[in-house]
Structure 1
Amino acid sequence: MFKRYCLMLMMPAWLISQACWADAEAEVHKLQQQWAQANYTLQGKPQLEAYDALLLSAEQAKSAYPDDAGVLIWSGIIQSSYAGVKGGLGALKYAKASKKDLEQAMEIDANALEGSAYTSLGTLYFKVPGWPLGFGDDDKAKQLLTQALKVNPQGIDPNYFYAEYLKEEGHYKAAGSYYQKALQAPSRPGRPLADAGRRKEIQNALNDIRNKLN
């Protein structure tokens, strides 16, 4: 440890910064993989236990890289996903923690990870109940989700979650077009499980819309 510290002292500042960025990027990738496993391969008690471990991993990542937007975004995603799995009033605590992480990430770099903070925060705003129970706000949701599409117009997540918003608002035909666009989105490098899980969700949503329109 001491040897590594001494070597870092001898390195140029830009090289140290680059090394830290690479470490943070690796941490983000690890969180992404763990999240996909918890979200798409587990259910019930095993899923809750996996999320408990994932929440701890996210906290450790934030402690190590407190100013990295990508780490904060994924901490926010994990918190919001856990809120969805947990459900009930107890979930609001995690939704609020997610909101805090995502807003902090946006202060650092709003376009990090192709605007994922816009997508995730926008989704929170239409999923969480409004006042007096929560902070939900459909207008803010639309604003954030449309901004996410400006940053990453072809991405699977911004199109999927905007479709989810439109579906929630009862705009089924418009939602269907965005689900289709999400379905045609290019695969994300290193995220086959997440892509497969998301595409399954899209197909289920499209089937639901067809039933509503028939």
Structure 2
Amino acid sequence: MTRLWIPFITLLSSALFTNAAQASADPLVTIQKKWAQCQYQRSQEKQQIYCFEQLIKRNQQALNSAPTRADLKVWLAINKSSLAGAQGGIGALSLVEEAKDLLEQVIDQAPETLDGSAYTSLGSLYYKVPGWPVGFGDDDKAEHMLKKALAINPNGIDPNYFYGDFLAEDGRKKEAIQYLTRAQKAPPRAERPLADQGRQQEIAAKLKELQ
């Protein structure tokens, strides 16, 4: 499979909160919204890189204040991976290595966090990062992780999208269309409209390529 540095875009549904005041106070909500802005509303490379750098600082501060929160750890990994995608090149490998370590910690300690999002994120890294001797990319591990994510969240937009994208890169066109179509029909996430809009655009573009 061709190895590409692309913006790593992941994913994931928010944690559930008991009321609006609690949700607005939770740093995860702000981090998720800001990620979508960095990913989909920063068209210039320098702006996007700066946006992710600042978001990583905010995410790290939130995790420092609540070190047992696996959801914040998942999002720190997502943000580091996203920055790596924005920067590109060999220099981004240290960021994806850091992201991989964070995701492995979550899988070891709390694998069902955010509907198994650590599996989706790690699986995406395994097929997007170059393989040995440059990086840790591994298609077999990618598929294993992505199937784990789908077992936990079979109807989610992100696990279906990333597995479909993986299959497309692997030349399995018919299967790719099947999972991308599932992603296209996934229930919208009321708390993440911008992320859903951006992901649906990516799904449509990928399906157009395959059809």
TM-score by length of 2: 0.86
The equivalent residue for 2:139 is: 138
What letter is aligned with 2:67? P
Distance 2:138 2:67 in 1: 28
Whichever of the two has the greater Rg, that structure is 1
Residues 122-144 of structure 1 show CA distances to partners (whole Å, capped at 9, x for unaligned) of 00011111111111111110000
Unpaired runs of 5+ in structure 1? 1-17
Are residue 69 (structure 1) and residue 70 (structure 2) matched? yes
Q: What's the counterpart of residue 5 of structure 1?
A: none
2:11 maps to what in 1?
Answer: none
What residue number does 1:187 align with? Answer: 188
Q: How many residues align?
A: 190
Q: Distance in 2 between matches of 1:115 and 1:29?
A: 18
Structure 2 residue ranges without an equivalent (≥5): 1-17
Q: Is the Cα–Cα contact under 8 Å of residues 172 and 209 in structure 1 kept in the other structure?
A: yes
- What per-residue deviation string (whole Å, max 9, x for no partner) do you get for residues 69-100 of structure 1? 10000001111111111100011011011101
Deviations 1:87-115 (A, max 9, x none): 00011011011101111122221001000
Distance 1:164 1:64 in 2: 36
Code of the aligned partner of 2:76: S
Query: Residues of 2 paired with 1:66 and 1:106: CA distance?
Result: 16
The residue number in structure 2 matching 1:153 is 154
Output the CA distance in 1 between the equivalents of 2:165 and 2:67: 31
1:89 corresponding residue in structure 2: 90
The residue type equivalent to 1:191 in the other structure is R
Alignment of 1:1-214 (within 5 A): 26-43=26-43, 44-210=45-211
| Percentage of identical aligned residues | 45
Q: Which has the higher helix share?
A: 1
Distance in 1 between residues matched to 2:169 and 2:30, nearest whole Å: 32
Q: Which amino acid in the other structure matches residue 68 of structure 2?
A: D
